[in-house]
Amino acid sequence: MDLSEIEFPAHSAIFHIIKGLLFNRKISFQVEYLFDDKNDRNIPIQNQERLKDRLFDKIKTEYNARLNSNTEASPYQFTEEYKKKMYIGDGDRENFSIKKFQLVQSMEYDQELSDFGGYYGVYPLTFVCDQCGDLRYLSKKSIRSFNPNQCKRRNCNGKYEQLSIMMYCETCGNIHPFYYSFKDYPITLLQPSKDSIRTWKVRAEAPNKNYLDVFRLQCNHKDPHDMGPYRHKKVISNADPGKMRPLTVTEGSIYIPVAETSIDIPTSPDISIDDLEYILLALSLNKFNFLKDLDFTINLNSIQDLYQGYHNETTKKLSFKTDPLFRGKSDEEKEKKWKENYFIDRIEDILNDLKGRYEDEETIRELNDFTALLGKLGFEKIETISYDDYINKLRDPYKRSSKQSELNHIRKEYYIDDVIYIPQVTLITSCYGIYNGINKFYEPGFIPHFEPIWEKRTDPKKGFYAYSYPYQTEGIILTINKKRICEWLVGCQIISNVPQQIEEIDNFFAKMKENPEIYQATKTLIHTFSHLLMRNSSVYTGLDLQSYGEKIFPTSAAIFLFTTSSINIGGLQFIFENEIFNWFENIKFDVKECTLDPNCITEKGACFSCMYVPEFVCGYFNKSLDRDAFIGKYRFKEGFWC
């Protein structure tokens, strides 16, 4: 295997080769540097400012939550001095940027620097002799002349192998390679059992030195951003020193990429980013129906045209001078009339009303992403095909009748409102940070050690960034009956009444995040549904589970499943056209049984055997999953399908 050049498919790079991540090819490597995109092979991001705002808010929320955490599940106890130094505020938005990979088509003939995506190096630089246990710590310089095939100790014919162990502090989040030293004496590692790390011991080859348990050594919680002498580093946590936990280096462990997939909604030059979100929300809530009476098409394109006309200063000045409507009026009256001409006054009233009622920005973005997916925003609308439309276009009456019967069954048994196929959509998957160590998503209240991707680790205030990869793919949307979800919430005694009118139901879902219990229950239901469908799709598409991605919309009661590579396009279309009925029928078996039952269903209702998928497939780190949402015996008082 040639380890001088390693290639990664672009669609998986977000989860494998972000700066600082580890990957394995015989031995372990770390990504040291990535070039900025200069080849212009990426699909352009249409609305980078919207994406930037979204990712920055996520980074700020997750990192500050870690800094402030002092709970039983996450007793980090960071010092006030360290929190003040590291806190991310709104003013840091200017120091945040979005980068894209430098995509490389082929490196076989052209060896120019611009045709490489970046650099990587061996990591950790710790090696041990397989016979005598001689332990060596190398530098990036010394490894170039290091011969792993010959032990450096006399009379030993052993070979060196990489010691793929890292030490992790669960309190402060610090991680460093396995290390022990005593003056300048050689160090020996004793490994009675290579597979049982707890049996390992080290010894300095010095007089009167015995083997000791290196894992008993404690972390003193020193500042990881200070590259000075260890003794002078400041302590960053008020917690007592504690043992470090050994972790085996494997791909996707130790440093876990945190990714987000979003819809690329086109920019609107004459509308501010903040107003754009509320305009999109108003479109999804049908708040601009007054324009329909004025013969306007109600979509983002129409609203943009009105704003463009309103902001045209040349036309405005000419109208003020020549149009009889503005003669004899004061400047204030002219401005008011000009705004009325383009209905901006009525639009602003609607936006101000929504701003007072919907304050959670991420909820608004979620609603808008879903509206865009449905192709309701104008401006290069996304093409969608509902299952009803697909059936109606079938020429064979027998097949049409059969498909309609299957759809009616799915709607009745699984409470599905609609199944929609999207032949092509532009998605953006972004890695905006890394979880250090272990992500105990299965523990209630756990806050992981989230770390932004710093421009310069020794000086965090230099800023941070995210890597984004835009790509085109296909997908399937499944909308779940909102009224049935409300009935289920009543049956679970989470709410007391079922909203009756459509507008009332839509408002209930749009403001769902204001009640954490309602939102969490709905999210668990929809997310579990999503995993059931993903885990069954491979049977019908021939694609590996790792080829899929998901995005759930609790506030829209919808699931969006998609393929993560354009190479695999066509698999979901095959399900849509041929296997919808079988796809749904098989998931009922997965809900009822798990090989680890009764422990699984009585404890959390989700495990690696029944519900979990690889973390780069699940957009939510396998959190908010529970089969009992559909069964209703343990944590939910009613099952959604019971």
Predicted pLDDT of residue 134: 94
Predicted pLDDT of residue 92: 93
The contacts of residue 226 (CB under 8 Å, 6+ apart) are 232, 233, 234, 458
Residue with tokens 């870690």: 66
What CA–CA distance (Å, rounded) separates 48 from 64?
A: 24
pTM listed for this prediction = 0.86
Q: Tell me the Cα Rg of the chain.
A: 29
Helix (H) or strand (E) holding 373: helix 361-373
In the predicted model, residues of the chain with pLDDT beneath 50 are: 1, 106-113
Q: How many CA atoms lie within 13 A of 498 on its CB side?
A: 13
Predicted pLDDT of residue 355: 87
Q: Please give the C-alpha separations between residue 613 and each of 357, 405, 530, 539, in angstroms, as whole numbers.
A: 37, 32, 11, 15
Predicted pLDDT of residue 4: 60
